[in-house]
Amino acid sequence: MARHWSCNPIVLIVLAGWLGAAQGVAAAPIVEGHMEWKPDTCLPVDVNNVTLRLEVATDSSETLNLNPDAAVKAGLRPRGLERFIFATERLEAIDRSIEISGHVRTLPVRIAGQALQRAPVIWHQQTRISASCDGFVSIWLFAAPRITLLQPAAPPPTREASLELASDGQWIPDYAGRVELDGDSLRAAIDLTVPDTVVNAAAAQLLERNDRLRRSGVIALHAVRYGLTRAAERAELVGYSPLGLRLPEVFVHGERRTEPATTSAPPEGVAPGEVAPVTVQGRRSKPLDPPALTLGYKAVANCRSLTFDRTTHTVTLACAD
């Protein structure tokens, strides 16, 4: 997921069922660097002295991202030149990037009762980026040097695996590591805000060259970040378990010239025609990105704990075989 400054957007209309506020999601406490975690867990975070509930983002650095209604609750309003284009999903198939317009401001924040600090807060006026919480908070903003996310329902661990992460150098960097593949390697990230594991076009080519990918030929919609869904091909890995994880399936983001543009997925009961704009930037053809794999939360369902070390930028998984 590339993020960068951009200009001259054109408007794409997408469904906006995500705009309704999420209800009834419990907040999780942090105790001595540990917290129980499951998908859609929300943390209490004070922004502008207003308590919000935010999901934990594990693959980006030191920012908070807020839904439109959460930004209003926190008293945030557009001001001057702070608006920018927040690129969230590159669609190689149609030579475009889906980009969401946002605003950014450095504000005092307090995460789960920890010490007050100042951090970049990004908010979106028209697109709900989290369906279950008020937005995202990066795990790399937490005060403890190590944060362990615990999944008590997972089976007892029988092994550990570690992934050393490095920033991609962007203004809002992604953190990712490398996993080996038959003498080659893939860029690998863990994104606990989405369920599915994704391989990009270059990774699919590399996996197929090594007879490690079996395509189904079935195209299905699956969730990507920021309240969007995308059409991609279902596939399975053959004799390959990155970080020792057995993945039930992966989604291949390939070069399909007829692939539909990304759209926001409305929840049940939303009437047709309820829409909100996001911005799209047209792009010329370019070489494929380097081979990359993004692990969603289904991939770590058998992991009792995930420990993120802020000093070494390493994540350690304790999982069952």
Q: Given the structure tokens 């092994």, which residue do they identify?
A: 159
What residues pair up with 64 in beta bridges, in sequence order? 121, 137
Task: Check whether 306 has a pLDDT greater than 90.
Answer: yes
Quote the percentage of the chain above a pLDDT of 70: 69
Task: Check whether 127 has a pLDDT greater than 80.
Answer: no
Query: What is the model's pLDDT at position 287?
Result: 59
Query: What is the model's pLDDT at position 288?
Result: 65
Task: Check whether 59 has a pLDDT greater than 60.
Answer: yes
Task: Check whether 137 has a pLDDT greater than 60.
Answer: yes
Quote the percentage of the chain above a pLDDT of 90: 39
Largest CA distance in the chain: 54
**Region class of 273: left (phi > 0), else alpha (psi between -120 and 50), else beta:** left
Residue 70's SS3 state is helix
Tens-place pLDDT, residues 164-205: 988 665 555 567 899 999 899 999 999 998 899 999 999 999
Q: Given the structure tokens 């594991």, which residue do they identify?
A: 197
- Give the chain's count of helices (H) and strands (E): 2, 23
Residue 206's SS3 state is helix
Which alpha helices (H) appear in the chain, and where do they start and end? Answer: 68-73, 201-209
Residue 21's SS3 state is coil
Residue count of the chain, please give it: 321
Tens-place pLDDT, residues 63-80: 888 998 999 999 987 664
Distance separating alpha carbons of residues 188 and 166, to the nearest angstrom: 10
Let me know: does 193 contact 162? Beta carbons within 8 Å.
Answer: no
Query: What is the model's pLDDT at position 173?
Result: 55
For all residues of the chain together, what is the average pLDDT? 75
All structural domains of the chain:
10-144 (2.40.70.10), 150-266+286-319 (2.40.70.10)
| Helix, strand, coil percentages, rounded to 5, for the chain | 10, 45, 45
- Average pLDDT (282-293) is 64
Split at pLDDT 50, 70, 90, the class of 244 is: very high
- Average pLDDT (206-218) is 94
How far is CA 88 from its chain centroid? 9
Let me know: does 231 contact 219? Beta carbons within 8 Å.
Answer: yes
Pairing of strands 184-190, 175-181: antiparallel
Split at pLDDT 50, 70, 90, the class of 248 is: confident
